[in-house]
Amino acid sequence: MTVTTITDAELTPKDYASDQEVRWCAGCGDYAILKAVQKVLAELGAPRERTVFVSGIGCAARFPYYLSTYGFHTIHGRAPAIATGVKLANPGLDVWVVTGDGDGLSIGGNHMLHVLRRNVDLQIILFNNEIYGLTKGQYSPTSRRGTHSPSTPQGSIEAPVSPCAFALGAGARFVARAVDTQQADVVAVLKRAHAHRGASFVEVFQNCVVFNDGVFDHFTSKDVASDAQLHVEHGQPLLFGPNRARGLRLKPGSVALEVVPVGEGGVPPGDILVHDETNRALAQLLAALEPPAFPVALGVLYCNPAASYEAEVYAQARAAGFSGEPADLGALLRREGTWTVTE
């Protein structure tokens, strides 16, 4: 009898699909993201037994069921905290966090802030559809002013949260963006995120066909994409538009960006800013760009690695002489400095 053994390096995207029926609304952007993640895992040859997906609550949170890896479907907003525990308990695991704009930035905003500032080695994918999809279309932290929903029937009066600006403000060392339907770009960004040691934050613009259909059409539709999208690449000039005939430069005497024509009748190519993904200030400027005055910046906005949290935790423990031997809790409680309560 011949036995064929499949190694992780030979796995295909289908090998990372579970036996569970994928249940999202027809046309939902989550399908495209799931396909991209499965492709990324296959291209990385990710060991399924050492890969963990952790999610919170929402449509995106069904992700762990649909992947043939380990996973946790946790509680609302707490996926970053539980993923941190997983990574600390076993740093050798490859841990991904899947969340949405509501789950990750509303009830989970506090946990998201701390996992980013601590720089725990996790890949965090935030699906942003600017609405609460699972609970029937209430406005979310990323919903724009004027959004009509069951919870804002007269239109939202709140200023929205920018996920990437939030991540940068929290001290994230890797921040990127992609659009759900741009499969090659999603795969490329997620592979970059996986290669980064530390917390990687990736915002994916994801269409909700039922409760917020077309909310990103002003920069994702094919007829406007060239003018409304800026695909950034480290070391390359910030050019966009048909024939890359427009670019970004700093306004003379200012720290603000402006769009200018390039070449004949415009500014010299040398005047255009070159993307430096290690420059946090530039990343913050790019994250704030919005149509119609500016294109939406996509790709890796910021990448400036530093030591990861769990690596420093274990280094500190080794320096303190912790041997890994079972601890005596009784001895700890009876050590010097305890109090005795008497009548």
pLDDT in tens, 288-297: 999 999 999 9
Q: Under DSSP, is residue 93 helix (H, G, I), strand (E, B) or coil?
A: coil
In this prediction, residue 7 carries a pLDDT of: 57
Strands 246-250 and 123-128: unpaired
Cβ atoms of 74 and 107 within 8 Å: the answer is no
User: What is the 8-class DSSP label of residue 308?
Assistant: -
- How sure is the predictor about 86, in pLDDT bands with cuts at 50, 70 and 90? very high
- How sure is the predictor about 23, in pLDDT bands with cuts at 50, 70 and 90? very high
10 Å Cβ neighbour count for 63? 24
Q: What are the structure tokens assigned to 308, written together? A: 């990861």
In this prediction, residue 62 carries a pLDDT of: 96
Can you state the angle between helices 183-195 and 30-44, rounded to 10 degrees? Answer: 50
Per-residue burial over 146-164, b if 16 or more Cβ lie within 10 Å, else e, is: ebebeebeeebeeebbbbb
Give the model confidence (pLDDT) of 105-129 as tens digits: 999 999 999 999 999 999 999 999 9
The sign of the torsion formed by the CA atoms of 2, 8, 13, 15 equals positive
Give the DSSP H or E segment for 315.
helix 309-319
Q: Label residue 225 exposed, middle or buried (CB < 10 Å: 0-12, 13-18, 19+).
A: middle
Cα separation, 82 vs 71, whole angstroms = 11
Give the model confidence (pLDDT) of 268-288 as tens digits: 999 999 999 999 999 999 999
Mean pLDDT of 61-72: 97
What is the identity of the amino acid at 27?
G
- How sure is the predictor about 322, in pLDDT bands with cuts at 50, 70 and 90? confident
Reply yes or no on whether the pLDDT at 35 is more than 80: yes
Reply yes or no on whether the pLDDT at 264 is more than 80: yes
Report angle CA 249, 251, 257 to the nearest 5 degrees: 55
Reply yes or no on whether the pLDDT at 5 is more than 90: no
Q: Under DSSP, is residue 77 helix (H, G, I), strand (E, B) or coil?
A: coil
Strands 94-100 and 51-55: parallel
Give the model confidence (pLDDT) of 154-174 as tens digits: 999 999 999 999 999 999 999
Reply yes or no on whether the pLDDT at 233 is more than 90: yes
| In 186-310, beta strands by DSSP E | 200-205, 229-231, 239-240, 246-250, 257-261, 296-303
The CATH-assigned architecture of domain 8-236+276-310 is 3-Layer(aba) Sandwich (3.40)
The length of the chain in residues reads: 343
- How sure is the predictor about 3, in pLDDT bands with cuts at 50, 70 and 90? very low
Domain ranges of the chain: 8-236+276-310, 238-274
Q: What are the structure tokens assigned to 140, written together? A: 């979310």
Reply yes or no on whether the pLDDT at 9 is more than 70: no
